[in-house]
Amino acid sequence: MILIFGYSKLAAQLAYRLKKEKKEFTIIEPDKSCMEFVKKDMYTSNIYDYECYDDSELINIGIQNNIKTLFCMHNNFNQNLFVTLSARNLNKDLQIISYCNNINESKKLKLAGANTTINPYETAGLKIFRQIHKPMAVKILDDILFKNTPLDIQEILINKSCLLNGKTLDNIDLFEKNNLILLGIQDKEISNQFIFSSRGINHKIDEDDIIVVLGYKSDIIRFKKEVNL
Amino acid sequence: MKNIVVNLAYKIEASKLHTSFRNFLYNTLVNNSSKHKKIFDLSMIFLVISTVGILIYEVKHTLPDYINYFEYFAVGIFILEWLGRLTVSFESHKQIIHDYEESQFLNIKYNIFDSMKIITKKKFDYIFSLNSIIDLLAILPSYRPLRILRIFLLFRLFKVLKYSSSLNIFTRVFIEKKLELTLLLLLYLLVIFFSATIIYIYEGNGLNDKINSFVDAIYWSFITVSTIGYGDITPVSDAGRAATIILILASYTVIAFFTSIVTSSISEKLDSIKQSNTLATIKKLKKYILVCGYGKTAQVLIDNLKDNNYNFLILENNLEAIKSHKDAKINIIHGDATSISLLKKIGINKNISKVVVLTSDDTVNLSIILSIRSINSKIPIICRSNRAKVKKKLIIAGATNLIELNDTASYVALGYLNAPVAYEAIDDILVDYKGAIMSEIEIFENSDFINKPLSSIEFSNFNINFIGIVHDNDKDNFVFNPEKSSIILKEKDHLILIGYEKTINEFKTYIQSHRIIS
């Protein structure tokens, strides 16, 4: 379940996309005047007018068990910060994505516990830059990520029973066999940083590692079956 | 006679020699952006300064022959220049053709004198313009019988002003503040006349042996008012001293006014001086990106462009916004990007590779796009749209790509939601932050790989991920990780790779070193 706090323009756009992807989500909007828009757009029927100063309101919605992702999208930065901090205290594993306007706000939100911050001005500026700098690469990745192409980028979590568990990258020919490209690997034991396979390190895959592969959707499904996932 | 003139006019119009000669004259004398003019201006400044130097040297020395010849040479050049300017100022044959064709069209008899009248009038207009008079005053005193007017040779120095565009701005200050300065001059003259009269009445009657005439009084008044005060003439009576005190008080006010008018209008002009400098540097750039609107989004874009050594020019209408992001290295012009004349001045046609329109007002964005499209129909325009509903209109106006802030941000949010690790990794790849980059490598002409299978490229020798290929004849179709022996490489195909900067560069050199040496 996804929770959106604050119904800003960005939140409205996000709600629209979530509905398109048929995902279930809840909206909290403390402001009465903004509530009108929530009810008008009606992307979801789970709407609350909590102010969220009280932790019990968040617990009531299910921040500790039901909710997996929280979007703090309120236009008021301080309110976002407050909810980010409260939510992080209530649930250590929650994915929190918060809206910010500049680098300083982003730093504060990350201190408060946000996993990711989104600055619309920055994303737009970067997108334009990429269109100038690497038009083809951007188009290809955009198509793969957001459009309905046969290609897909997927992250695969390695579990105990997986055949890859305990093997080193050099000894795995399953990627090549299935026409997949291994982009890289994230090993939580080492760091949160993503290691690109092009670095040429012969990494040993363990339980709880995440590997990221690029390839045709059908190939990825077959690959998953072959490695017993 | 009439027929001969008209025929001649048509012959001139058709003559290639004439057009190229005219273009040459135009480029050396008038066109500020041409290389010829710069060289010409510099050599003219040298000529002027050296001839004035000769004038000074001449006072106490007799001139050797070769210096005389140099003087004649310089005057010769000045005369040629003046004649050239006279020629460029108005195209006589065009007037004749125009009048002749009009009379043919209206079926009246063509009168050559009408055309001649207009031509003479236009030419005389030029001869009596300020520029031409300065030129003439610099030439005429060289003629022996007019040697008495030698002092006018100093007018050549004014020619220097003409050749330097930034000095032109100072003259413009005086022209723009004409009213204030005239009033001030009148006030100044009044004060001088007033005090001169007082001192003449009280001390010109023999009381002061230094003041023998009204001219003396005026001279004294002027020297005092200017705060120079040589002290060769001083007042001796009480009345004279009282007049001096009033005069000095008045003079301070006048001088303060004068200084403030000139300094304030020069500082107003400073911005336009900077802008013309920016325009000049921009004109030298071969390829640059034009960014209209300087906000938060533009800031992110510009930071990245700067880091990757792109050239760019920013147009911003709001002075506050320009001042808030001061960086000396950024080319920024204060101006309205919707104005076609400003865009023409910048030159949308020549060196701009892309235009990015980023203001927060959609109607302004629309207007900017249309202005650009009215000048150039091909240039790619990336535009920011602030509402989903106006997207269609911006596309109709001619935008090639649209960016909507909340739209892109919501995509990013969704990306993080669906696949956080993969998305962050891809984000890094595109921004080049942590070293891993996605790169497009072009197969250039003369490459040894053209018409060979993809498998002839030894990917396995490099630590890179080959993702796929985009063929030049089918740009919309990305071929993912194809069977390498089945693909034949063509010119301008792009290989898409992911790797680290070092390995990608190694691979690039490998590709580039395989070229056919012709």
Quick check: B421 and A194 CB within 8 A? yes
> Does this chain's domain A2-120 share its CATH topology with A149-226?
no
The CATH code of the domain at B178-269 is: 1.10.287.70
Q: Is B270's pLDDT higher than 80?
A: no
Contacts of B300 in chain A (CB under 8 A): 121-122, 124-126, 129
Concatenating the DSSP letter of every residue in B142-166 gives GSGGGGGGGGGGGGHHHHHHHH-HH
CA separation for the pair B303, B482 (Å, rounded): 37
Read off the pLDDT of residues B159-211 as tens digits, 9 standing for 90 and up: 666 666 656 666 777 787 888 888 888 988 888 898 899 889 988 888 888 88
Q: Could you tell me the pTM of the whole model?
A: 0.64
CA separation for the pair B386, B73 (Å, rounded): 65
- Nearest Cβ partner for A184 among B296, B425, B496: B425
**Residue spans per domain, chain B:** 2-163, 178-269, 286-408, 422-513
- Tell me whether strands B381-385 and B401-404 are parallel, antiparallel or unpaired: parallel
Read off the pLDDT of residues A193-210 as tens digits, 9 standing for 90 and up: 677 766 666 778 888 888
Quick check: A214 and B467 CB within 8 A? yes
Contacts of B304 in chain A (CB under 8 A): 125-126, 129, 133
Q: How far apart are the first and last CA of chain A?
A: 24
Cα of B339 to nearest chain A Cα, Å: 24
Q: What pLDDT was estimated at residue A74?
A: 92
Quick check: B417 and A69 CB within 8 A? yes
Quick check: B408 and A127 CB within 8 A? yes
Tokens of B2: 């009439």
Q: How far apart are the first and last CA of chain B?
A: 62
Quick check: B494 and A136 CB within 8 A? yes
Q: Is A2's pLDDT higher than 60?
A: yes
Per-residue pLDDT band at A88 (split at 50, 70, 90):
very high
- Which residue did the predictor score with more confidence, A124 or A145? A124
Read off the pLDDT of residues B355-409 as tens digits, 9 standing for 90 and up: 999 998 889 999 999 999 888 888 889 999 888 788 888 999 889 888 888 888 8
Best interface-test mutation with A: which of B300, B312, B431 has the largest number of A CBs within 10 A?
B300
Of B228, B224, B231, B232, nearest to B194 by C-alpha is B224
Residues 6+ apart with CB under 8 A from B506: B462
DSSP state of B140: G
- Nearest Cβ partner for A71 among B289, B413, B496: B413
Residue pairs between chains A and B whose CB atoms are closer than 8 Å: 193
Helix crossing, B130-139 with B65-89: angle to 10°?
Answer: 160
Residue pointed to by tokens 């009038």: B121
**Contact criterion met (CB below 8 Å) for A77 and A100:** yes
Class level of CATH domain A149-226: alpha beta
What is the separation of C-alpha B180 from the centre of its chain, rounded to a whole number of angstroms?
A: 29
DSSP state of A168: B
Q: What's the rounded mean pLDDT across residues B294-321?
A: 86
**Looking at domain B422-513, which of 3.30.70.270, 3.30.70.1450, 3.40.50.1000, 3.30.70.141 is its CATH number?**
3.30.70.1450
- Nearest Cβ partner for A124 among B408, B466, B494: B408
Cα of B127 to nearest chain A Cα, Å: 52
Share of residues in chain B with pLDDT > 90 (%): 5
CATH 3.40.50.1110 for domain A2-120, yes or no, is no
Contacts of B384 in chain A (CB under 8 A): 124
Global ipTM: 0.82
- Which residue did the predictor score with more confidence, A149 or B19? B19
CA separation for the pair B177, B171 (Å, rounded): 10
CA separation for the pair A18, B240 (Å, rounded): 93
Cα of A74 to nearest chain B Cα, Å: 13
Alpha helices by DSSP H, listed for B156-237, are 156-163, 165-176, 178-203, 214-225
- Nearest Cβ partner for B496 among A102, A123, A137: A137
The CATH code of the domain at B286-408 is: 3.40.50.720
